[in-house]
Chains A and B, each alone.
Chain A
């Protein structure tokens, strides 16, 4: 079996938002929509205050609540662990948006462009009408993962078949790979560190592991 997951080493993330920009570039999301974001969390009380950068996106859950509530089967969990949306089936009911505890999904009801109603040349070239009025979210760059299947390249190792955010990370905070492969990089990292998965108590079995210390 294959189960693609992401590792995010919070010790390394510097909050530069390069992954956010890379995702926007790779997926041509409209203004105001970020499939990948880096949150800036301030916590504690003076003088013991902390600032943490937290990259978030779809967690590609093992038991995705968005899939079970979807009335159309537009949202499905693939055999390799990726949670995908079929834009041609989705009716935009937003039930999945409500079901996701990670704020990962959004619906855009009309075309949006950076400078008003007229798209730039790049926006016009990459505008996808199929994504209007339907639910959308991070895909783990599934086209690249599918390309790996055809070429034999290894996601998380070969950049051509690795999510854009992971490729772009300047500090090496983000990793990607098959957690069912004992030799994968993500397995090696998780074996030597302490980590958590966000909102795991909700039973979603998220596929993103946040590393916070050595073991």
Chain B
């Protein structure tokens, strides 16, 4: 990573976080999609082959994400210490749920048991939720700690999972049934609603200007390419235009890819730190106190003490 040498007057302003790089982002990108895929695969009524393929893909995605993050941590050979703080740490909870996900998912693939498939799906949902809470628990990053980030991360994981499930069904031969396409359309609507709610909430509650600039620039593309375009393609598939499987595959992959780009944007590009602030400038000599200073912020939040 390139050295970061800000000028003295820049030290107080929010800075883009530099500790979680693409490997950490990959954990949220792959893990969230994998968890969502497990849940959708368990409950979407796919045929036996497609269900097994989707479960395998979900486990592979989660495994890929965790492997990436293992390569990121400073002391990888102590990774088992991650299980020591279940009481409050969502990272510990994510790691515990991952064990159950792999156990039940593998058994479901081997035995084709409906019950185990449902349990694996529920565990996938728990994994997805844990990841969303990991981000939200980080008070140092305003774009993550906003409470609306949790439904956003969960909804995108579910939409990506449904996108992958539809793609798997399209490739599996029989083609996805109408229920799955409607589910994908509904999840797409929920995701865009969560996105708009998140962005509006973050802007209202205050955030670093640089973070808002990144998110504002990303929003229109995300809504158009990530939601409008796949929705049009899905509707075309639903009304029976020719090339249904190809259209579903395209729409599913678009939904997943746009969710991945959104998560990368959130975890890396919009992840500006809180920065430092002075609630009251000091009184020196006879002059009054100056106004509060919070470099790099759109608005001042919180009260003063004294």
A-B complex is real: yes
Interface residues on chain B, size class: 35 or more
Nearest A residue to B81, CB-CB: A72
Given A44-B290, A71-B81, A213-B283, A32:B3 Cβ within 8 A:
yes
Taken residue by residue from 281 to 293, chain B's Cβ proximity to chain A (1 for < 8 Å, 0 otherwise) reads as 1111000011101
Closest residue of B by beta carbon distance from A94: B19
Most buried by B among A73, A94, A109, A201: A94
A71 and B282 contacting across the interface, CB-CB below 8 Å: no
Question: For B91, what are the chain A residues with a Cβ–Cβ distance below 8 Å?
Answer: 69, 71, 93, 95
Task: Report which of A44, A69, A109, A197 forms a contact with B89, defined as CB distance below 8 A.
Answer: A69
Interface stretch among A48-56, A116-124, A145-153, A180-188? A48-56
Q: Is the CB of B289 within 8 A of A92?
A: no
Q: CB distance B283 to A11 under 8 Å? A: yes
Q: A71 and B279: CB pair below 8 A?
A: no
A50 nearest in chain B by CB position: B290
Contacts of B72 in A (CB 8 A): 93-94
Q: Which residues of A contact B139 (CB under 8 A)?
A: 65, 99-101, 202, 204
Q: Which residues of B contact A92 (CB under 8 A)?
A: 73-75
Check if B78 is an interface residue, CB within 8 A of chain A: yes
Contact bitstring A128-151, B, C-beta under 8 A = 1, else 0: 000011110000000000000000
Interface residues of B in 251-306 (CB under 8 A from A): 271, 273-284, 289-291, 293, 295, 301-306
Contact with A along B1-22 (1 / 0, CB 8 A): 0010000110110010101100
B interface footprint on A39-63 (CB within 8 Å = 1, 0 otherwise): 1111110001010101010000000
Closest CB of chain B to A92's CB: distance in Å?
2
B282 A196 Cβ-Cβ under 8 A: no
> How far is the CB of B190 from the nearest CB of chain A, in Å?
27
A103 pairs with B273, CB closer than 8 A: yes
Which residues from A are CB-within-8-Å of B8?
39-40
**B137 adjacent to A196 (CB under 8 Å):** no
Q: Are B144 and A98 in contact (CB under 8 A)?
A: yes
A39–B11 CB distance below 8 A: yes
Q: Measured between C-beta atoms, what is the minimum distance from A45 to chain B in Å?
A: 10
CB-contacts of B1-47 with A (<8 A): 3, 8-9, 11-12, 15, 17, 19-20, 24
The 12 sampled A-B contact pairs (Cβ below 8 Å) are A40-B11, A41-B295, A42-B9, A69-B88, A69-B90, A71-B92, A92-B75, A99-B138, A103-B275, A109-B74, A134-B75, A212-B283
